[in-house]
Amino acid sequence: MEEKRNIGVYICQCGSNISDYVDVEKVREEVAKINHVSISKTTMFACADATQNEIVQDIQENNLDAIVVASCSPKLHLDTFKNVAERAGLNPYNYVQVNIREQCSWAHSDKPVQATEKAIQLVKAGIARAGYSEALIKTKISAENVVVVVGAGVSGMRSAIELADLGSYVYLIEREYFVGGRVAQWGELFTTNETGKETIRRLYNKLMEYKNITLFTGAEIISNTGTVGNFDIQVKIRPRYIKPGCKVDPEKLQKVIDACPVEIPDVFNFNLTTCKAIYKNFESEFPEIPAIDPEHCTRCGECEKLCDDIDLGQKDEFVNIKAGAILINTGYDPYEPKTGEFGYKEIENVITLPQLKRLIELSGKELIYKNKKIHNIGYIYCVGSRQKDGENKYCSRYCCTSTIYTSIVIKNKYKDIHNFHFDKSIRTYGKLELLYREASENGDIFLQFWDEDPPVVSRNGNGTVVSIKDMLSSGKELEVDCDLVVLVTGMVPRQDNKIADILKAPLGRDKFFNEIHPKLRPVETVIDGVLISGACQGPKNISESVKSSLSAASKANSLVKKGEIELKPTIAFIDKNACVWCDECLKACPFDAIIKVQSDGKDVAEIVEAKCKGGGMCLPVCPENAINLKGYTDNEMEAMITALAD
Amino acid sequence: MEQQNELSFDTLVIGGGIAGSEAAINLANLDYKVILVEKDLSLGGKMIHLSKVFPTLDCSACITTPKVSETIRHPNITIYTYSEVKNIVKVSDKKFTATLVKKPRYVNEDLCTGCQECEDKCPVVVKDQYQYDLVGRKAVYVPFSIANPRVVNIDIENCILCGICEKVCPVDAIDFTQEAVEIPLTVKSVIIATGFELFDPTQILRYGFGKFKNVVTAMQMERQLVPTRPYNSVLRPKDGKMPDNIAYILCTGSRDETVGNPICSQICCMYSVKQAQLLLGALPMADVSIYCMDIRAFGKGFCEFYQQSIGMGVEFHKGKVAKVTEKENGNLILRYENIENGKITEVEHDLVVLSIGVLPNPEAKLLFNSPVIESDEFNYIKQTDELVCPPQTNIEGVYVAGTSSGPMDIPDSILSAGAASACSANYIRN
């Protein structure tokens, strides 16, 4: 490749982010001396529209064949300036970004002289690289206008409806036998007072109107072999053991359920009750037909005797789906306290917030737990969130409001109940503050503990006592008799999160799915075509989850609707003459982007272009040096090293 | 007033802040034709004026300016800055009419190159609203260095009509004869992204804002911390001294019945924690104390960010400040009840920052003629189906994005804008 002879260099001040510590004018003077540099300028904000236009003009008027912008991290603005090059008619891969902000001014703010020196070297290296940069052409691949939505909770159902409305075909895949996720388990919801069941019914009825949505329940993605535009997904659908055409007769169903001899803890009620192996969690649950839990069913056949619609001979089914994009909406699990954590599982009247919410749903006119009418409830906040010593450093966001709202529901529903809140400072942000006010006006007592001094739950004769050193009364040691202690458990990532491995979608430090950037690309992951929304991304309330799922739906649709997707050309390529197929590259690639093919009678490696992310892991392990990375060729790298060593 | 021919678009986006830009770009990427109307001189809303943003500490201008430039360059987006809409009427399904009013800048936008020759020569100096009154500006001025469009504007209220700008302009762009232009508009859907206003702390007399010079608002502090900061350092206004003992008073104008705003502003805790971290970087010898009722670090990465500030040495005191008094040297005495020990406490600081809250933009409501757009008890646009369709308003085809519906941080504003654009696209399509 011939060296570029006509390079434009722009040194950004980034307001003063860079120029406070790096002498940008000196950098410009130094690089202006390099032969091939025909234009060198400093600029207040290289990313500002005016500067962008100036660069376009410079490229066109001076026939520049490469440009270098020394500014911030390429993570932020590589694409911005590639677009600038493209607008000017220059191949975007003849653009090189040098990071003199994070790597010079911010890292060496105590040593401005050396920071400037480093900046000069880095920019020189960037110019050397630009000299060997090659024009690369993006490849286009076809894309299916099909989106797989994983998880049919409120967020997933909402995404599916939106995508279908926008014209994509949607496969909605739900692991449970019924849709609705967590929301189906809740009663009245803040702030609309609609119940969870009602919300889910509304969404389900809407969902059923669409011909371009296929819903699979009891289904899981078990593998994926494709990439963006053409994901190749295999779905396993567990049998429901009920014939699809079953018209449910509630009375008959009850008889069948009564006949089932298997009794298991009911996870829908967070083990507060038991259920049978054939079950339906509530009458208006969707899909309407019940399910038999294959894990616990003993195949005794009692149910089959009573109902012709039961078919214990059903087998697992497998479905293959081609999809352009995948939207993960798998939600969260409630934190499960450890045995003994605030008396959980050791003291009988200690339950979790989700259990309390189910208890309200299961209770009649009085709130009764273990045959005792409840009078005093103590809520202990931040169980499993904002942990001082544990792993969960994050705040679970929804639980303060959810607890306070539940305490209000309790006050409205039952007489003579007193609520005592043992909190770590209440986070009812925004308009939710009004609920906090309402609870206070209801006479709820709020007590606050220090991080390092959490409340203690202990038995006291027949009762249970919560002791606290209360910050709001300047550290008074107080004891409250509670006949129900509710642990306000936060959100944790799904315990069974196989989907993350299957799709190689990255998790953050908090183990929730991680977006590329919370402000720039909040619903996309680094895996092209794999999007995330709802609480699988981090704690969110319903409204916030739905906002993100709507946002993700429109992003997914705009990705696949055109029928083709452009791929980055910065991928590996193999010199087939040099390759001896030792399979080292295959082992090094985390994206399964290398396959073995025959070429001229020998085995050689080949790159699957749609899968290669240009990670470069294969390059150093190749003993024959047969692999190169477009945009990062040996020529470019060697030129940079030479410039740096100069 | 001049009349022009009718314009027709798929969607009208009102407001060119981060939410409006995001919504417009999303719709434009789905191939809808969008008209974006911004009442201010340039795009970027409040976000473009911020320093670094929590919890990632990204440079705010560096995120906003490319978004603004993407909005401006998008072939499916038409932008009117320094313009307003009024009389929005829903005529029928998917048909709204409105009047677009293009206010006079007294400068021909197409000719002006933003060279600022006129600004240099203009003899009038007034307070610069974009620097939150910290410094002055001229009567003919580019709003701020990274403003887009980067053209000058004549502040006719303060202009003395001396005509110097007209004489020095190398391209004859100054035009005192400009008048407001009214353009009839037809669109299929509307997105309200009119943003929020900041609480005016002069309402709380006991904090002394406007009287004690060393009591500033958080937005004024923000401007002292941005890359384009006016003093290139953090200085206290009374004597230009670098402060070394700074106090933040949280919930100034939020969670406060006495000023009619009982709700939480959702962003002040975190922006204060962020400013505290930036201050420890800008003034390594300084102490920063935050006086608060609670710290509401609830979003993704927020709690960790709050813990990081404690690790850096930011001091948190639980207690709402009752009163601020000024000493002769300009230092300030804060009186508050320290909740942790129950004692009334007085402490001295040399700079006090008021963490002012968020208020609704009352103008949003007035844009609609028929039907009337409903608002909630605080004057935010009412969301009529908050759980299943959060952007939905009482008028089908009108959606709300960002802080028009309530206090919100930047990530949430961006997500809500994405949601509003999705709903708008569906409304037009079906």
For residue B384, the model assigns a pLDDT of 96
CA angle A391, A397, A400 (to 5 degrees): 110
**Same-domain pairing of A407 and A448:** yes
Q: Which of B293, B407, B418 sits opposite A554 (nearest CB)?
A: B418
Domain span at residue B148 reads 104-178
The 3-class secondary structure across A322-363, one letter per residue, is: EECEEEECCCEEECCCCCCHHHCCCCCCEEEHHHHHHHHHHC
CB contact (8 A) between residue A395 and residue B265? no
Residue ending a domain, among B358, B386, B420, is: B358
Which residue in A154, A392, A395 has the most chain B C-beta atoms within 10 A of its own C-beta, making it the best mutation to test that interface? A395
CB < 8 Å to A510, chain B:
300
Helices (H), ranges, B34-89? 60-73
A202 within domain boundaries:
yes
- Check A72 against B59: CB less than 8 A apart: yes
User: Which of B364, B349, B369, B348 minimizes the C-alpha distance to B236?
Assistant: B349
3 state DSSP class of B156: coil
**Do A485 and A364 sit in the same domain of this protein?**
yes
Nearest to A395 among B297, B340, B387 (CB): B297
Which residue blocks in A380-512 are alpha helix, DSSP H?
399-413, 433-441, 498-503
Same domain, residue pair A377 and A413? yes
d(CA A460, CA A458): 6
Residues B121 and B98 in one domain: no
- Structural domain contains residue A163: yes
Question: Which residue out of A550, A555, A565 would a mutagenesis test of the B interface target, given it has the greatest number of B Cβ atoms within 10 Å?
Answer: A550
Nearest CB to B422; choose among A203, A542, A553: A553
pLDDT recorded at residue B98: 98
Q: A389 and A265: one domain?
A: no
Could you give the CA distance from residue A531 to residue A98 in angstroms, rounded to a whole number? 29
Q: Are A266 and A219 in contact (CB under 8 A)?
A: no
Which stretches of chain B score pLDDT less than 70?
1-3
Residue B329 distance to chain A (closest CA, Å): 31
Q: Do A16 and B229 touch (CB under 8 A)?
A: yes
A219, A342: one domain = no
Answer yes or no: do B139 and B186 share one domain: no
Cα–Cα nearest to B221, from B199, B237, B208: B237
CB contact under 8 A, A543 and B226: no
- The domain in which residue A617 lies consists of 571-629
Co-location of B412 and B340 in the same domain: no
pLDDT, position A642: 94
- Is the domain of A224 the same as that of A292? no
- The strand pair at B58-59 and B11-14 is best described as unpaired
Q: Does residue A473 fall inside a structural domain?
A: yes
What are the backbone angles phi and psi of residue A76, rounded to the nearest 5°? -85, -50
CB pair distance less than 8 Å for B339 and A474: yes
State whether A594 and A468 are in the same domain.
Answer: no
Number of Cβ within a 10 Å radius of residue A437: 15
A contacts of B429 (beta carbons < 8 Å): 165-167
Residue B227 and residue A14: Cβ atoms within 8 Å? yes
Give the model's pLDDT for residue B146.
84
Contact B256, B250 (CB under 8 A): no
- B390 closest CB neighbour out of A50, A429, A547: A547
Q: What pLDDT, on a 0 to 100 scale, did the predictor assign at position B301?
A: 95
The reported pLDDT for the residue numbered A2 is: 61
Looking up tokens 């939600």 gives A331
Instruction: Give the DSSP letter of residue A101.
Output: I
pLDDT for position B150: 86
Contact A429 B298 (CB under 8 A): yes
User: Which residues in chain A touch residue B266, judged by CB atoms under 8 angstroms apart?
Assistant: 429-430
Calculate the alpha carbon distances from B37 to B11, B70, B251 in Å: 11, 16, 32
- Spell out the long-range contacts of A307-311 with Cβ–Cβ below 8 A and sequence spacing 24 or more: A307/A252, A307/A256, A308/A243, A309/A242, A309/A243, A309/A245, A309/A246, A310/A241, A310/A242, A310/A243, A310/A256, A310/A278, A311/A241, A311/A242, A311/A243
Yes or no, beta carbons of B304 and A426 under 8 Å apart? no
Q: Could B418 and A550 be called an inter-chain contact, meaning their C-beta atoms sit closer than 8 Å?
A: yes
Rounded CA-CA distance A414/A416 in Å is: 7
CATH at residue B166: 3.30.70.20
* Residue B28 · residue B74 · CB < 8 Å: yes
Q: DSSP code of B124?
A: -
Region class of B269: left (phi > 0), else alpha (psi between -120 and 50), else beta: alpha
Tell me which of A492, A517, A536 is where a domain ends: A492
Full 3-state SS string of B51-62: CEECCCCEEHHH
Q: Distance (Å, rounded) from C-alpha A368 to C-alpha A373?
A: 4
Q: Are strands B398-400 and B189-192 parallel, antiparallel or unpaired?
A: parallel
User: Is residue B184 located within the same domain as residue B174?
Assistant: no
B94 and B116 part of one domain: no
Start-to-end Cα distance in chain A: 22
Query: Smallest CA–CA separation between A314 and chain B, in Å?
Result: 36
Same domain for B143 and B189, yes or no, is no
pLDDT value, residue A154: 97
CA distance A152 to chain B (A): 14
- A241 Cβ partners below 8 Å, 6+ apart? A278, A291, A292, A294, A297, A310, A311, A312, A314
The answer to whether position A519 is within a domain reads: yes
Domain CATH code at residue B332: 3.50.50.60
Mutate to test the interface with A, among B64, B415, B424, B429 (most CBs of A within 10 A): B415
> CA-CA distance, A246 to A464, in Å (whole number)?
49
Our CA-based measurement puts residue B22 at a distance from the nearest CA of chain A, in whole angstroms, of: 10
Both B245 and B334 in one domain: the answer is yes
> How many CA atoms lie within 13 Å of B203's alpha carbon, on the beta-carbon side?
15
Task: Inspect the interface and report whether the beta carbons of B264 and A49 lie closer than 8 Å.
Answer: no
Query: For residue B281, what is the nearest residue in chain A, using CA coordinates?
Result: A109
Judged by CB atoms closer than 8 Å, whether chains meet at A48 and B65 is answered as: yes
Query: Is the distance from CB of A229 to CB of A143 less than 8 angstroms?
Result: yes
Nearest chain B Cα distance for residue A576, angstroms:
40
3-class SS of residue A383: strand
Cα separation, A82 vs A138, whole angstroms: 12
- Give the whole-angstrom CA distance, residue A321 versus residue A319: 6
pLDDT of residue A22: 95
Nearest-neighbour CA in chain B from A442: distance (Å)? 17
The pLDDT score that the predictor gives to residue B2 is 63
Q: How many CA atoms lie within 13 A of B186 on its CB side?
A: 9
Residue A201 lies in a domain: yes
**Residue A191, preceding bond cis, omega within 30 degrees?**
yes
Q: What is the DSSP letter of B383?
A: P
Regarding whether A158 and A190 lie in a shared domain, the answer is yes
Q: Which of B115, B150, B178 is the last residue before a domain boundary?
A: B178
Length of chain A: 646
Q: Do A428 and B300 touch (CB under 8 A)?
A: no
How many distinct structural domains can be found in chain B?
3
Coil vs helix vs strand at B238: coil
Chain B interface mutation, best of A44, A162, A547, highest count of B Cβ atoms under 10 Å: A547
Those residues of chain A that have pLDDT short of 50 are none
The string of DSSP codes covering A250-284 is: HHHHHHHHHH---EEE-GGGTTSSEEESEE-SSTT
If asked whether residues B202 and B55 sit together in one domain, one would say no
Q: Residue A538 and residue B300: Cβ atoms within 8 Å?
A: yes
Same domain (yes/no): B372, B404: yes
**d(C-alpha A335, C-alpha A397), whole Å:** 13
State the residue for tokens 């494709």.
Answer: A226
Residues A219, A155, single domain; the answer is yes
A-B C-beta contacts closer than 8 Å: 221
The CATH number for A324's domain is: 3.50.50.60
**Dihedral, A630, A636, A638, A640 alpha carbons, nearest 10:** -130
- Cβ-nearest to B227 among A17, A167, A189: A17
Q: Are both B415 and B338 inside the same structural domain?
A: no
On whether residue A350 sits in a domain, the answer given is yes
Nearest Cα to A290, choosing from A252, A261, A317, A236?
Answer: A252
Closest residue of chain A to B359, computed from CA coordinates = A430
Residues A325 and A211 in one domain: yes
Of A162, A427, A561, the CB nearest to B298: A427
Task: With a threshold of 0.90, tell me whether the complex ipTM lies above it.
Answer: yes
Spatial neighbors of A304 by CB under 8 A, at least 6 apart, are A310, A311, A312
Contact B301 A395 (CB under 8 A): no
Q: Say if A54 falls within a structural domain.
A: yes
Element housing B332 (H / E): strand B332-338
Whether residues A71 and A170 fall in one domain:
no
A362 lies in the same domain as A483: yes
pLDDT at position B230: 84
Tally of domains within chain A:
5
From the list B58, B52, B45, B54, the residue with the least C-alpha distance to B15 is: B45
How long is chain B? 430
**Is the Cβ pair A166, B422 closer than 8 Å?**
yes
By CA distance, what is B379's nearest residue in A?
A: A431
Out of B307, B331, B358, a domain closes at B358
* B286 lies in the same domain as B411: no
Shortest alpha-carbon distance between residue B1 and chain A (Å): 32
Q: Give residue B385's pLDDT.
A: 95
Same structural domain for residues B79 and B47?
A: yes
Interface contact A47-B66, CB threshold 8 A: yes
- The residue in chain B having the minimum alpha-carbon distance to the alpha carbon of residue A155 is B388
